[in-house]
Structure 1
Amino acid sequence: METMTLPGARQRFVYYPETDGEPMAETDTHRNLMIDLIVALSKYFNDDPHVYVSGNLLLYYEEGNPAKSFSPDVFVVKGIEKKERPIYKLWEETKAPDVIIELTSKTTRLEDMGMKKGLYAALGVKEYFIFDPFSEYLKPHLRGYRLSGDEYALIKGKRIMSKELGLELKVEGESLRLYEVFSGKKLLTPAETAKAKEVAEKAKEEAEKKLEEARLARKQRAENEKQARLAMAQATRESRQTAKEEARQKLEETRLDKKHKVESERLAREAKAQADRQARVAAKEEALQKAEETKRARLA
């Protein structure tokens, strides 16, 4: 329940409904387009706290008269607080929308091209765009108007620009798309945003996977290099140990050979000495025997 005080009158209650009982859009295409445009514009102006984007919202333009209302498909108001509103009351907000976009059809043709066009100009809506997705009567599909004085002037040229939004409006099939004028970047629909997010997340996962694979590869390479160094060090130690053992064995063999030679020489000397002693004994015995024989011969 809304309240209002009129000059010279008692306070009375005026009810401003939040719905007019009309369907949101003519067709699924109209509804989807409206939602896509509202979401895209809301995201585009997300960081500006003084730009309000809405659509299919009742806008009351005469205080105390609930019959004086309309519900634009899409509209943008600059210079007011960004907040949720159940309805839009022109006398409280103190300004009309800067831009209105209507998604038209043959059933709303007279209203969109007649009454609304005149009303929007009278209220001071700076830019008014009409899009006919099925090209039921507008050829080309899109038409734009810019306020000049108290009347609308047709925006001419191949490119339809919104000075108020800083965007270019383009027809793509049955869709109305918005592009940033300077960057040429397209404003994405919710479905495209979700797809882009999915692609970005997948790319991120792939990048993280590749980074992890690279990390593991570096780790494995480092481990392989470490094992190679350890193996080389082990092989070097074993080689040195083998060489040392071979040298020791050669020294031992040399020592044993020398010892054996010395022992052999000693045994040879002892054998020779033994033979010499035996020869002397034999010679002595032989001499004694001869002497004995000579003695016996003399005695005989």
Structure 2
Amino acid sequence: MSAVIPTAKPAIIYPESDGQPMADNTLQFRWITVVQGNLAALFADRPDVFVAGDLLWYPVEGRPDIRRAPDVMVAIGRPKGDRSAYLQWEEGGQPPQVVFEIWSPGNTMSEMARKHEFYVRYGVSEYYLIDPQQGEAVGWVRQGARLRMVDEMNGWVSPLLGVRFAVTEEGVDLFYPDGRPFLTFEELARADAEERAQAE
């Protein structure tokens, strides 16, 4: 009688892409890059803060069907470095604490409700939804097992990031803890050129 050789279980694949575009339009893309880039700059000197944009997050090992790709996410306590996906069980079980979603006309209420439910279930501490077209922002902060909506976003300061929100008739603006505004790369280049010109 020949011995039965156990067959190895096939490796579980966690795709690096969900097949969806990063953004639906230039306004949404600009906001994603501004939020991600400025948060990365804010924590540039912190080796234990990981900031990413449009990265798939898998919270449950063995379940590649359970996933989300926040527009921007911040994982405090996790090392910097490139990743093909955020596999939570390989990150010390740490979920991203802060996520940002940038609303675009292609979003639906049911889609955003599913995202909100996902962030509640899998441990996000702060969730911010920004609609740059309408100039609106909504925030939620964890309170026990749920995310409680922030009553007033104008002047709100993120407990974990120290970032201040300004929501006025002019639109939404974000500010560093020292009061500097979040800027686009073009605005940063212009400010740098002006500083150099003044120095000369």
Q: TM-score, normalised by structure 1?
A: 0.60
Task: Show the counterpart of 1:199.
Answer: 194
Q: 1:187 aligns with which of 155, 179, 182?
A: 182
Once the 2 structures are TM-superposed, how far is the Cα of residue 62 of structure 1 from its aligned partner?
A: 1.8
Instruction: Please identify which structure carries the higher helix content.
Output: 1
Q: 1:179 to 1:133 in 2, by over 3 A?
A: same
Q: 1:129 to 1:194 in 2, by over 3 A?
A: same
Q: 1:104 to 1:20 in 2, by over 3 A?
A: same
Once the 2 structures are TM-superposed, how far is the Cα of residue 105 of structure 1 from its aligned partner?
A: 3.1
Q: 1:20 aligns with which of 18, 21, 34?
A: 18
Task: Show the counterpart of 1:63.
Answer: 61
Task: Show the counterpart of 1:125.
Answer: 124
Is 2:13–2:64's contact at 8 Å kept on the other side of the alignment? yes
Is 2:34–2:182's contact at 8 Å kept on the other side of the alignment? no
Task: Show the counterpart of 2:38.
Answer: 40
Is 2:155–2:167's contact at 8 Å kept on the other side of the alignment? no
Q: Output aligned runs, 1:73-222, within 5 Å.
A: 73-93=71-91, 94-111=93-110, 113-135=112-134, 141-157=136-152, 158-171=154-167, 176-181=172-177, 183-204=178-199, 206=200
Q: 1:25 to 1:83 in 2, by over 3 A?
A: same
Once the 2 structures are TM-superposed, how far is the Cα of residue 117 of structure 1 from its aligned partner?
A: 0.8
Once the 2 structures are TM-superposed, how far is the Cα of residue 188 of structure 1 from its aligned partner?
A: 2.6
- Between 1 and 2, higher relative CO (CA 8 Å, sep ≥ 6) is seen in 2
1:277-298 deviation line (CA, Å, top 9, x unaligned): xxxxxxxxxxxxxxxxxxxxxx
1:197-241 deviation line (CA, Å, top 9, x unaligned): 11122222x2xxxxxxxxxxxxxxxxxxxxxxxxxxxxxxxxxxx
5+ residue gaps, structure 1? 1-8, 207-300
Matched positions, count? 192
Among the aligned pairs, what percent are the same residue? 31
Whichever of the two has the greater Rg, that structure is: 1
1:118-171 deviation line (CA, Å, top 9, x unaligned): 110111100000011222xxxx61100001011111111242221110111224
Task: Show the counterpart of 1:281.
Answer: none
Q: TM-score, normalised by structure 2?
A: 0.88
Rounded Cα–Cα distance in structure 1 between residues aligned with 2:101 and 2:170: 14
Is 1:104–1:112's contact at 8 Å kept on the other side of the alignment? no
Letter in 1 for 2:197: K
5+ residue gaps, structure 2? 1-6
Rounded Cα–Cα distance in structure 2 between residues aligned with 1:68 and 1:111: 17
Rounded Cα–Cα distance in structure 1 between residues aligned with 2:30 and 2:138: 20
RMSD of aligned alpha carbons: 2.0
Rounded Cα–Cα distance in structure 2 between residues aligned with 1:177 and 1:112: 25
Rounded Cα–Cα distance in structure 2 between residues aligned with 1:133 and 1:178: 12
Q: Tell me the SS of whatever aligns to 2:18.
A: coil
Is 1:128–1:146's contact at 8 Å kept on the other side of the alignment? yes
Q: Tell me the SS of whatever aligns to 1:64.
A: coil
Once the 2 structures are TM-superposed, how far is the Cα of residue 173 of structure 1 from its aligned partner?
A: 7.3
Rounded Cα–Cα distance in structure 2 between residues aligned with 1:189 and 1:175: 15
Once the 2 structures are TM-superposed, how far is the Cα of residue 61 of structure 1 from its aligned partner?
A: 1.6
